[in-house]
Amino acid sequence: MLVLDANILIRGILGRRVRTIIASYGNTVEFLAPDVAFTEARRHLPIVLAKRETPAEPAMLLLESLGEVIQEVGFETYAASEEIARRRLAGRDPDDWPVLATALVFNCPIWTEDTDFFGAGVATWTTDRVELFLQGGGHG
């Protein structure tokens, strides 16, 4: 199992590497993302695409298709870990707590490019290293 941050969802649309990794390991590893990560990606992606003068609709459809491989975790699942997640992220981005809370609930690492998670008590993998974790089936 691996929890994805919104920045990874966005990279899954804008680039090829993240999408390739997700496609390669989607049958053997359970990818999770809190509902707010999808919401954040849906909100930021059109802004990024507008700056690139790229149509948003194909990218938004691709984002929704990622939902077939990445399980969207609802608030009711990670809410009980909110307090501890907020404490561990104190002084950092307070909006990141759902990702950490989800990782705490499922006792699994986070895939992110956001350094706010470093030192928060769960393993954190960046895209350039995540395949080391995934090659072990997402549990090693």
Is pTM beyond 0.85 here?
A: yes
User: Domain holding 115: CATH number?
Assistant: 3.40.50.1010
- Is 65 part of any domain? yes
Give the count of domains, the chain.
Answer: 1
Domain with 107, as residue range(s), is: 2-134
pLDDT, tens digit only, all 140 positions of the chain: 999 999 999 999 998 999 999 999 999 999 999 999 999 999 999 999 999 998 999 999 999 998 899 999 999 999 999 999 999 999 998 889 999 999 999 999 999 999 999 999 999 999 999 999 999 876 65
Look at the chain and count its residues.
Answer: 140
